[in-house]
Amino acid sequence: MIATLARLRWTLTLRAFTTSPWQIVAYVLAVLMGSGCVGAAVVAAVVLGQGPALGGDSATWLHALRAVMVCCGTAMLLVIALLQIMVLGEGSSMTLRKFEIYGIPDTRLQMGLTVAGLCGLPSIVGTLALLCWAPGYRWMGTAAVLSATLAAPLIIVTFMFLCKAVTALATTLVRSQRGRNMFYIALTLFVIVCAQVPGLILNNEGAISIRMEDFAGLTNVLGWLPLGSLFALPFDAQAGHWGLWVLRILVAAVFCAVCFAVSVWCIRHERLLTDPAGGYKAAKGVGMFAHVPDSPSGAVTARVATMLRRDPRQGMMFVFPVLFIAIFALESHGVSAVVWQAVIWIGWVLCIPESNGLPYDGRGFAMQVIAGTSGKQDRIGRVRLYVVMFVALYLLMAVAIFLITGDWKTAQGVEQGLAFTVIGFSAALAALGVSEWFSTVFLYPVPSIAKPFSSPQGRVAAQGFFPFLYILLSIVVMAPTIGVAIYALVAQVSAWTWLISVVAVVNGAGILMLGTWLGAKTLDKRELKILHTLEEFAALSK
């Protein structure tokens, strides 16, 4: 059974290649990235394996390497585990539910799925990279190298057990739609904040001093925790602490057993429960449909607004303004312009989901096609909503930043704040214009709304590339404003705030109109093709 599931994983992967050449492209990219990781590990092992010969004494090398391997190894595995839940989820092809009807004993099924996970490309790359890194300990002796070689697959196995348990728990415990939305948003925020911590620490080095000794205590603790314990094996071997060496392996083994038990418990729990209880609470009236213009485009506005409120995949974007302002405020060192410039980035980031708006609509887009809604009605309906939201959002952000920076106290501060707000708003309009066209041409699959923690096959490559392309375009279309801003700075124009603001408004509004018009035309032309593409995306998420 276990071997069958492992084979099934590869059969599904190979089968996916025949459905679309993009699957092959994405996989080749993944292989290249994996090869890069392995190559980097080889280089690191060759260079750092010389140890103290490179400079410094053995004791310092030992302490530093131990701290880096145990602390960074643990942190990296934790971040990957979090990303696994948030971005990749349980995977859409081999979920527990798909095997429910076969009556496979829970332990065998879970073990099969874990082994199938271990046979995947990420696990293979991870194991190879760690194996290639093992000679990096050669200056510590043969025992250390052998221990690292043994630890390499064990680390990946432990990590896989952790991932399976965490994903199963996330899927099983967060059952209601509302709970799932909250969990998704909280998790995303947590990852973003975690990613910002090193930057914040380094930026505030005056306030926080970090010494090697501070890491020693942390390394000792993490060295006895399951994810760090295996990274500490070469150091025990080098010191000849074979008792500790065995104990650390036992810690990881017990952890794997606990994770496995949790995963199996989740399967049982899932099986005994029916579908997620309770979706959204009953709404009164028709909600947004009562407050929009009485027209097809009004219907689109109301529908998109209602979906945005209920869709965790898009709704979480609106947490970014708070996050951006908070992060830039912490890093501003009293320079208010650093905080103000956040409003320029926010517009671009907020429009990322809209730049792929139709796949978020999914097959529901068929309702518009059935009704014969024109591209113009659709685009105007969407633009109306975003413009209204941007107006409210930029006003709120301006007020918040004025209060944080205290710029409202001086005329110069007020002028600067208003200029940034207007420029930011204009950039957001331009980004929206780009999105309205972009989303009719470049579509990539998104996780299904019912399973925001799942990953449609072949999504990762496109999901990384297309948003990048969209942001690049959004910046390029603001070239007139950027050009004028550079000129104003170089020529030291005294009324630079007014000059740039006026150009930005014309630039942003112009791109919005152009993008909306072009998007409408393209949508009219490609409507059926888009519908077909959305159907293919929906099939990927099944």
Q: Which is nearer to other proteins, 298 or 519 (CB)?
A: 298
Q: Find the radius of gyration of the CA atoms of the chain.
A: 27
User: What are the counts of helices (DSSP H) followed by strands (DSSP E) for the chain?
Assistant: 24, 0
| Cα distance between residue 317 and residue 326, in whole Å | 15
Nearest distance in Å: CB 372, other proteins: 3
Q: H-helix or E-strand containing 16?
A: helix 2-19
Q: Which is nearer to other proteins, 52 or 287 (CB)?
A: 287
Residue from 38, 71, 307, 422 touching other proteins (CB under 8 A): that is 307
User: Could you tell me the two tokens for 187?
Assistant: 């998790």
Stretch that binds other proteins, among 244-252, 256-264, 302-310, 478-486 (CB under 8 A): 302-310
Residues of this chain, 353-382, that bind other proteins according to CB under 8 A:
361, 363-364, 366-374
282 binds other proteins (CB under 8 A): yes
Nearest to 255 by CA among 339, 154, 361, 376: 154
Inter-residue long-range contacts of 160-163, CB under 8 Å, 24+ positions, other chains counted: 160/114, 160/117, 160/118, 160/123, 161/114, 161/255, 161/256, 161/259, 161/260, 161/263, 162/77, 162/81, 162/226, 162/227, 162/255, 162/259, 163/81, 163/84, 163/85, 163/117
Q: Which is nearer to other proteins, 439 or 481 (CB)?
A: 439
Nearest to 459 by CA among 92, 78, 76: 92
Residue from 207, 272, 284, 411 touching other proteins (CB under 8 A): that is 284
213 binds other proteins (CB under 8 A): no
Nearest to 124 by CA among 235, 234, 6: 6
Q: Which is nearer to other proteins, 213 or 275 (CB)?
A: 275
Contact of 148 with 63, CB cutoff 8 Å = no
Binding mask 316-345 for other proteins (x = CB under 8 A): ------------------------------
Binding mask 408-447 for other proteins (x = CB under 8 A): ----------------------------------------
Residue from 442, 531, 533, 536 touching other proteins (CB under 8 A): that is 531
Q: Which is nearer to other proteins, 272 or 290 (CB)?
A: 290
Nearest distance in Å: CB 319, other proteins: 19
448 contacts: CB under 8 Å, gap ≥ 6:
92, 362, 454, 456, 538, 541
Residue from 286, 469, 472, 486 touching other proteins (CB under 8 A): that is 286
Binding mask 171-190 for other proteins (x = CB under 8 A): ------x-------------
Binding residues vs other proteins (CB under 8 A) = 177, 278-280, 282-287, 289-290, 294-296, 298-300, 302-303, 306-307, 310-311, 361, 363-364, 366-374, 449-450, 528, 531, 538
